[in-house]
Structures are given as C-alpha cells and as structure tokens.
Structure 1
Amino acid sequence: MRVVYGRLAHARGFGDSPPEENGSRFMGFARFSRRFFSSQANRAAYSFITTPIFYVNAAPHIGHLYTAVLGDAAHRWSQLAGATPTIFTTGTDEHGLKIQKRLFDTAEISSTDYVRTTENRHVDTVHKFWNVLREGDHIYKGQYEGWYSVPDETFLSPSQATDGTEPGTKVSVETGHAVEWSSEENYMFRLSSFRDRLLEWIDSRPYPVIPESSRQRVRHWLLHETNSDLSVSRPRSRLHWGVPVPNDSSQTIYVWLDALVNYLTVSITPSQISHNSQTHRHDNGTEICGSVWPATNQIVGKDILKFHAVYWPAFLMAAGLPLPRRIVSHAHWTIGKSKITQKSVWLPRQMQTSPTPWVTYSRGSVPRDSTPGDPDSNFTPSCSPRSRGRIFTVPPSVERVKKTSH
C-alpha cells in the first residue's frame, strides 16, 4: 500500500459513529497539517521537520508511532505545498534500532534521515557541540546533589519530588516514577544565565511553542525552575553507555544533551557549530549558511517538552546557533485513561500479520482522533480499524489523490 493523502471522508469502521458523521468531523493529514504547520509566519522555502530520538526497549505500541505519524503528515504536506528541500528526521538509540525501524517501515514513515546514537557522525557532532559550550565558559565542573529519576533520565529540583506511597520513598511529581538521591561530581551547564533570554523568546511572536497550553507550561518552568544550573554529565561508573566527555573519560555526557544534538547531526557539519558560523537573516528568521538548520517544526510529546523548550534553546543560545522556528507539543495516547508505557504495551497482532488496514488507520484516524495539545486521547477497542467487524476501506477519491501524488 502506498501513501494515503487527503480526507478519508467516507472511511468506514472507525469508532461508534456512522460514516457520514466520521466524514463531517474527520481531520486527516491535509487538514491537520494546514492547521499546525502551514501558517504564513512559519512558512519557509524549505521544510525541516524532526521527531525526537526514541528510546525503545520494549514491544512497540501506538505511542511510539504517534509522533512519527504527525511528523510524516507534516512532511508529506510540505512536499505537496512545494517546499524545497523537504527533510524529515527521526531516530533511535542503539538498543531500540531494530524494533523501531521495523515499526516505522511497516507504517511507511517517510523519513529522509534516520539517526543512530552510535554513528560516528553523531558522536563527532556531540563532541564539537560540547567543546563549543565548554570554550564559551557555559560548562564548568561542580558538585551536584539532588533527586534523579532513572526512568525519566532527568534531574529534579526539590519541588519536583514528592513522597511516594511506600514509606521513605520519593517519586517525580510529573511522572510518578521513583527517584533516588544523587550526590556526584558532574559538569554543570549555566542554565540560570539564560533565563531572561528564554523568557523573551517564549513570548516572541509568532509563538515558538504550540499549542498555547504548552507554551504556558514552558513559561511557568522558565519563571520557577531555571534559577539553578543543570547537570550535563554523569560519572562513567554510573552511566556506562553514551558519549564520553571529551578529554575526561570518567564522565559521560548527559543523555538528553546527547539526544538533542541529533538535530544538528542531520542538518549541519561539526565545523559549522561555532559562534563564527556565517548566518543569513531573512523574514522568517536566521539560517546557518550552507545548512538547513534551524528546524521549521520540532514535534515532541508533552512529557519531553521541558527538554526541547527549556534546555535545548538554552544550549543553542550558548553555542550561538539559531533556535528552531516552532516546537509542536502533543498530548499522550492512553488506555483506560492511563498513559501507554513500556509496562502497558499494546500493539495488535494484525499490525504485524496484516498491516495494511493499520497503516491506513494510523495515517487517517490518529491525526483525527488525537489532540496535539491537552487533553490526552484515550485508545479503546472501538478505535480499531476492524472494530465491530467492519472493514476499513479507502474511497475512490483518495485513490485518485494517491495516484496523482506519485
């Protein structure tokens, strides 16, 4: 099966609504993409869309596919709109490579680049980025003491941890994951030095973070959680895998700094990561000459918004690089109102044995039935493309669009 574009207005077999109701309220790829990715203020001659690097260590589920489907929608819309070039990147850590790649291939995700965290080009870019931050005195060695969440791979302030259900335990306020007290010598990033510039950026128009509920969350974090500096490394004895700190084999670069730099790995050369890089300024912002950075749209889940809308812009400011044009934050898919996680994996067997209806469903119904902002979208058996025994069919109008698009 090839790409499905446009409005699947007469698609059958979705949820409890009759076909005509589905048609009237349907938001397929074109409508979704026009709403979130094609505003005049955000339009550029090129299109560079990113998803995060995914860390997949369990069976894949719709939550893994969701971000990629949104990125795929925006990428295909940009192609139809005539953007040149159109770039769409995604990736994974080495542990999840085969699992994730197989899922994306099945769903026909149209990425133009797929980043692996162990590729030499990525390690070289991470090292160059680190050295630029260090040479600019934005990184220093210091003592970190505080809470750390292993599942979230993030450091927490005292206000971000609360008492757990078990006596003597602490959990993350935001995710509910258990946290542990950490006291170690790490490299620190001067996050507090960028607080005012970040606040100015988040309030600039056109707003760089959408939807508005997500922008307000970022603003709250900037006001209340950027008064201290950020640990950007861990002792190698505690974090064996990952990119080592240049000239200090006892430390490993913080996984999120490593992961965020993948966006530069696919868009510029290490030599262009410099305060002396030539830039070109135009109506849509500033670009690095000879590259496609900055990204036009970076699509992320709301659970990693802080990394992308607080830490990432601060890192870029410190390196003297342009900031992404727009960060699009989406809500979660849930099962029974609980977030789909590695412990609540759900991927129908049909997705593996008979993928065609599921691929079509993911292209049409995921952008329709989900909400890019809050609240979360609940996945139930009635969401299935084969729910209630009805089979999903592609109408002739969509087949015509498919043929004329290739």
Structure 2
Amino acid sequence: MYSMVLADVLKRWQTLRGRPALLCTGTDEHGLKVQQAAARAGVPPKQFCDENAAVFADLARRALIDATFFIRTTDPDHAAAVRAIWRRLRRRGYVYQARHQGWYCVSDETFYPENLVEKRRSPVTGKVETVAVESGQVVEWTEERNYHFRMTAVRDRLLAFYRENPDFVVPAARMAEVVDWVTHHLEDLSISRPASRLAWALPVPEDQTQTIYVWVDALANYLTKAGYPDRWAPEEAQEEAEAAAVAAAEAERDMETSTEAETTRDAVGDESAEPPRDTPSSLPARTLEQRQRQEGGGWPADVHVVGKDIVRFHAVYWPALLLALDLPLPRQILSHAHWTLGRRKMSKSVGNVVNPFYAMDRFGVDAMRYYLMHDGGIEYDGDYGNEHIVERYKKGLQGGLGNLLGRVTRTTRWNVRTAVVRVHGGVVEVEATAGGSDADVAAQVAAVRAVAGLAADHMARLDPRAALHAMMDVVYQTNKFLHDTAPWTLATQIAASSSPSPSLSPSSPSPILSADSRGAADSAGATNPDNASATRARLDRVVYLAAEALRVVGILLQAIMPEKAAEVLNVLGVGHAHRTFAHAQLNADSAYGVPLRPPGKGKYESLFPPLPVEN
C-alpha cells in the first residue's frame, strides 16, 4: 500500500500542477513463488492470481489510488509485448544459451553470486540455512541450461548513463549502491527457466521447453501500457503478429517431433558467440520518446516508485534491457525504505504484518494516507505502530488542521466572506512590516506565501514527506498566530464599541477599574470610532490570513488527503475551478468565503472526529 500511495501522491501532485499525468500499478503474477503458493492453496495458478489481483485492485480503490491503468501480467496484451521484447533482444544479439549454476532464491526470484550469500541460523526453526545477504531469504543451489541476456555488453553504457544522471536513483545512498554493484558484480543475466521447473510463466518464443524469467516479464509492464509495440513501432507489431502465427504453426508440427530435435533447432547462440555491437536500431530512442510524448503513451516514465528490496531490478536490469533494446530509459527511480513493526522487519513468517483494510476502517483512509506520508521513510525505514497513528491523528489532524478549520469557520463573531471582501476591496491592508508592532502578521504573510514553493521544491526532489511537513508547519504556525493575535478578543472589543453604554444614575456608585481593565476599555475604543475601525480592520486581517493559510494548505493537501482536503475547501467555499496549484498563493482567490458545506456544530461533525479506540 505504501508504494501505491506514494506513487499516487506524486501523480496527484502533477495533476494539481496542471500537467497530464498517468499512473500505472498492478500485479506481477508469474513466477515460481506464485506457482508454489497456488499449489499450497490447492487451486490453479490463474485462479490464485485472479483472486489476489481482485484484492489488490480493491485495496487500490479503497486507498483512493487514482490509477490510470491497473495492469496484470497475465493480460494478453502484456504477453504480446513481452514476446516482442524477447524477439527484439534476440535479433540484436543479446540472447544466448548456456548452462547456469548458482544460488537461487524463490522468494526474491533471482540468482545470487557466491559472495552475496551466507550461512545464518533461522530465528524461527533454529536451523542453519544459506540465505541472501541482502534480503535474508533462503537460497538453494540450482544447475540448469537456459537463456542468458548479455548484460555485460552494456556495462560501460550503463555506467556512463549513471554518471550523466547522478540523480537517477533517489535517495543518493541507493544510487551509490547501484553503481557499486554494476561496477563490481555485474554478470550476464539468466532470463529463462526450464518449463519443467517453472511452468507458470510466459513461454520463450519458439522454445516451449523454457519459460521467461519473471523479472523480464514484470518489468515489461511499463512498456505494455505505454503502447509497446503497437503504437511505438507498427512494423515490430506486425512482425510480432507474423512470428506468433509462425510459432503456432511450428508448435503444431512439433507435436510430431522429438524434444531433442526441438531443443537443438531453437538454440539461438551460446556463450562463446561474439557479443553484440551497440549499433542504432531502425527506430532511434529519441524518436520513440518524441512519438510517445506526442501520442500520450507516457513513456519514458518520469519516475518508477519501488521498494528498496527491488531497486536492483529497476535500476540495473531494467535500464540494461532498455539500452539493449535501444529504447528510452525512465528518468528517475524513487526507491523507498520499508516499514518495520516494533523495529523488526515485517514478515508473514514472523506474523508481524498489518492488514491495510483494517487500518483504513479503523483510522480512515485519508488519515492513513497522511500517516504513511508523514512517517514513511525514503532513505530510512519507518516504524509502524497504532500508537503513532493515534498521535499523528490527534496532534496533526484533530489538533492541527481540524482545530484550525473549526476556529476560523465555526463562529458568529466574524465572517470569512466579509474578511475576504474587505481585503480584496482594498478596505483592509494585509501587508505588515517585519519587526514592527505587526511582526506576527508579517510572519504569517511570509509563511503563507512560501509554503507552495517549499512543497514544490520537496516534491521535485521526490520527497513528499518533507512537502507534507512544510504544509503542516503552516497549520501549526497559523494556530499559534490565532492564539497570539486573539481575534475573539478583537471581536469582543468591537461588540463592546457598538453597544450603547448603560447610563449611570446619580445614586449609582462609580465603577472601579483596575489598570488592566482600564487599558482594555481604552483599547476597545468604546467611544472612539477611529479605534473601532482599526480594531475591525485588524480582526478582518487576522481572519483573512488564517483563512488564506487553510485555503492554500487545503489546495496542496489534495495530493495527500484528497477527501479531507476537499472538505476543507468546501467549508471555506473555494470554487472547484480555484483549487489548482496556481491558486495556492496568497491573495489568489477573491471569491471564496461562503461555505459549500456547513462547517457543522457538534464534535462528531468535525473534520476529524474522535477515534472510537485509541490503542
């Protein structure tokens, strides 16, 4: 869920900026891990995938993921794209057959070299196991003959790309890990498995004895929904259709031939063959990029959002495949950290996992999105805890945003629309001099003016957490601003100045005023129209600046809490056409102030009502 919400926030932010944006998410459904899980469940793999894909699709819907595409790697159009990629790699000389041996991890769906495995004692069983250093998952020694991708042939180009794009992987620490791995550990990649061992996968074109490595299949999903190969290269799509027809005819003939003859005929080279030369294809990468942008296919992707455990597949294997295919590379990869529970990595075997559906039911969807963005880690792991969610809910959402909205809109002492009209009509001046008697006003003006730019800078660096913190800083500051300026006191003074003073009879005792009460009476301007006018102007200015903070932050929060942000803007009366990033500036909207939804009276009508259970 974290990856999906993170990607959704980035996508919604681009939409808020007025930019066309596409979001692709979905399920990778092939591989030995899925095959074994289906067997344990006692159902066919496709049925197993159908049931689990439905759960993930429902999770995306419940979590308000605004996905353009929900792709399943069992979709027919995806299978066609994978076959086209395989054949293109083969035509360009990047595929060969060889015997492969090494430590294979079913959970990670990858081979590990000898220097990346070690012996560890299992905390669950107490047995000594061979595990992958990086993931801690069990590996097993495997020997088999399969197809390989000449990844070493693009090593130099890959390293050159990293040098030219030092921010390709975010954060920088993982970019350094990727460069180090390519420099010291890069080998040719085994890209198929014997069908006898892995049946639940896409068959290798023209060789039914082998199936395609799950990560070649899975990574290709980005190209599938971008229209590859049909929209990209119609000539390749036609070639793929013709090849598929030929393959079907050959498969029918092969029913009468021996497996040995088939294997011999379908070999496409060996490890001793001459490596491919990096010659341009008939469709240069920049032409592909231009065509995709023009046709709205969305490739190359601006950002892939992935967990740190699969960064190598996305930052090494995927760019290497694209270089070999002579296709454009994605611009950036955001590799986020994991969530722990009680400072321990979440694991089904340990039992310390969280059901996201229960969490959303308990705390609310937007509250969970807020928590994930507020506490989720990019470089360092975040530690999940119900007590942390409650704390964020009560401090940031109830005590911060909800409290501010209530203080500004749930009162008869002032009117937001009146303040907006008087400011935009030139009756009330908003600006104040920093360091003067209105230093608090100057600080509030500066904060509201700066927040959109700060948030945009953080989002451009793929750091929604910092962007959210910048937004909430304005919420906290505005609550302090209201406390310091005390608009309720100003409203009381104005009410007192407009009420006739009761006449005192000669026999009535003279009122006794303390020094403080004399000062308050004087400042109320009960008998001075000029003082009353100045107090009215100050009240309107305070109310306006507090409402502006809510309006601007409410607009920005649409990317993170779409439903609650809409409620804030509805209560303020912000028109739907005025909820863009361009309007997230001080004084950018003169039309709001009449609620589109009543702010409510009781606590259960508030933006963030009390939680039924707080632990």
Tell me, yes or no, if the aligned pair for 1:301 and 1:330 is still in contact at 8 Å: yes
Structure 1 partner of 2:172: 212
Structure 1 partner of 2:389: 384
Tell me, yes or no, if the aligned pair for 1:361 and 1:385 is still in contact at 8 Å: no
State the distance in 2 between where 1:99 and 1:315 align: 31
Letter in 2 for 1:207: D
Tell me, yes or no, if the aligned pair for 1:287 and 1:322 is still in contact at 8 Å: no
Tell me, yes or no, if the aligned pair for 2:303 and 2:334 is still in contact at 8 Å: yes
Q: Please give the root-mean-square deviation of Cα atoms over the aligned residues, in Å.
A: 2.5
Q: Which of residues 91, 96, 104 is equivalent to 1:148?
A: 104
Q: CA deviation at 1:381?
A: 2.3
State the distance in 1 between where 2:371 and 2:166 align: 29
Q: CA deviation at 1:351?
A: 3.5
Q: Which of residues 200, 206, 209 is equivalent to 1:241?
A: 200
Q: CA deviation at 1:203?
A: 1.7
Structure 2 partner of 1:89: 24
Match status 1:345 vs 2:357: no
Q: Which has the higher helix share?
A: 2
Q: Which of residues 137, 140, 144 is equivalent to 1:180?
A: 140
Q: Which of residues 164, 189, 196 is equivalent to 2:149?
A: 189
Q: Name the SS of the counterpart of 2:156 in structure 1.
A: helix
Letter in 2 for 1:260: L
Listed one character per residue, the Cα deviations across residues 279-300 of structure 1 (whole Å, up to 9, x for unaligned) are 5479xx8664643210001111
Structure 1 residues 391, 123: closer, same or farther in 2, change over 3 A? same
Q: Which of residues 364, 370, 388 is equivalent to 1:364?
A: 370
Structure 1 residues 233, 264: closer, same or farther in 2, change over 3 A? same
Tell me, yes or no, if the aligned pair for 1:143 and 1:183 is still in contact at 8 Å: yes
Letter in 1 for 2:23: F
Q: Name the SS of the counterpart of 2:215 in structure 1.
A: helix
Q: CA deviation at 1:104?
A: 1.2
Segments of 5+ residues of structure 2 without an aligned counterpart are 30-48, 237-280, 406-549, 555-566, 581-615
Tell me, yes or no, if the aligned pair for 1:162 and 1:173 is still in contact at 8 Å: yes
Structure 1 partner of 2:327: 321
Greater mean deviation of Cα atoms: 391-400 or 96-105 = 391-400
Structure 1 residues 127, 387: closer, same or farther in 2, change over 3 A? same
Tell me, yes or no, if the aligned pair for 2:285 and 2:327 is still in contact at 8 Å: no
Letter in 1 for 2:355: L
Tell me, yes or no, if the aligned pair for 1:147 and 1:156 is still in contact at 8 Å: yes
Tell me, yes or no, if the aligned pair for 2:359 and 2:368 is still in contact at 8 Å: no
Alignment of 1:49-68 (within 5 A): 65-68=1-4
Tell me, yes or no, if the aligned pair for 2:148 and 2:189 is still in contact at 8 Å: yes
Structure 1 residues 349, 93: closer, same or farther in 2, change over 3 A? closer
Q: CA deviation at 1:89?
A: 0.5
Structure 2 partner of 1:57: none
Structure 1 residues 326, 171: closer, same or farther in 2, change over 3 A? same
Tell me, yes or no, if the aligned pair for 2:158 and 2:320 is still in contact at 8 Å: yes
Q: CA deviation at 1:240?
A: 1.4
Moved over 6 A (4+): 386-391
Q: CA deviation at 1:385?
A: 4.1
Q: Which has the higher strand share?
A: 1
Tell me, yes or no, if the aligned pair for 1:172 and 1:178 is still in contact at 8 Å: yes
Structure 2 partner of 1:336: 342
Q: CA deviation at 1:269?
A: 2.7
Alignment of 1:221-236 (within 5 A): 221-226=181-186, 228-236=187-195
State the distance in 1 between where 2:356 and 2:19 align: 36
Aligned-residue identity in percent: 37
Letter in 2 for 1:130: W
Structure 1 residues 401, 75: closer, same or farther in 2, change over 3 A? farther
Greater mean deviation of Cα atoms: 287-296 or 102-111 = 287-296
Structure 1 partner of 2:470: none
Structure 1 residues 174, 111: closer, same or farther in 2, change over 3 A? same
Q: CA deviation at 1:266?
A: 0.6
Q: Name the SS of the counterpart of 1:292 in structure 2.
A: coil
- Which is higher, the Rg of structure 1 or of structure 2? 2
Higher relative contact order (CA 8 A, sep 6+): 1
State the distance in 2 between where 1:199 and 1:71 align: 27
Q: CA deviation at 1:186?
A: 0.8
Segments of 5+ residues of structure 1 without an aligned counterpart are 1-64
Q: Name the SS of the counterpart of 2:23 in structure 1.
A: strand
Tell me, yes or no, if the aligned pair for 1:189 and 1:231 is still in contact at 8 Å: yes
State the distance in 1 between where 2:169 and 2:209 align: 37
Tell me, yes or no, if the aligned pair for 1:211 and 1:329 is still in contact at 8 Å: yes
State the distance in 1 between where 2:27 and 2:381 align: 24
State the distance in 2 between where 1:387 and 1:206 align: 35
Q: CA deviation at 1:337?
A: 1.5
State the distance in 2 between where 1:388 and 1:269 align: 44
Q: Which of residues 312, 316, 324 is equivalent to 2:318?
A: 312
Q: CA deviation at 1:160?
A: 0.9
State the distance in 2 between where 1:203 and 1:242 align: 35
Tell me, yes or no, if the aligned pair for 2:340 and 2:384 is still in contact at 8 Å: yes
State the distance in 1 between where 2:155 and 2:303 align: 23
Q: Name the SS of the counterpart of 2:19 in structure 1.
A: coil
Q: CA deviation at 1:358?
A: 3.1
Structure 2 partner of 1:77: 13
Structure 2 partner of 1:107: 63
Letter in 2 for 1:334: T
Listed one character per residue, the Cα deviations across residues 308-335 of structure 1 (whole Å, up to 9, x for unaligned) are 0000000000111000011111000111
Structure 1 partner of 2:78: 122
Structure 1 partner of 2:466: none
Q: How many residues align?
A: 335
State the distance in 1 between where 2:287 and 2:83 align: 27
Letter in 2 for 1:199: L
Q: CA deviation at 1:222?
A: 0.8
Tell me, yes or no, if the aligned pair for 1:148 and 1:181 is still in contact at 8 Å: yes
Structure 2 partner of 1:28: none
Greater mean deviation of Cα atoms: 321-330 or 382-391 = 382-391
Structure 1 partner of 2:590: none
Tell me, yes or no, if the aligned pair for 2:339 and 2:346 is still in contact at 8 Å: yes
State the distance in 1 between where 2:57 and 2:348 align: 17
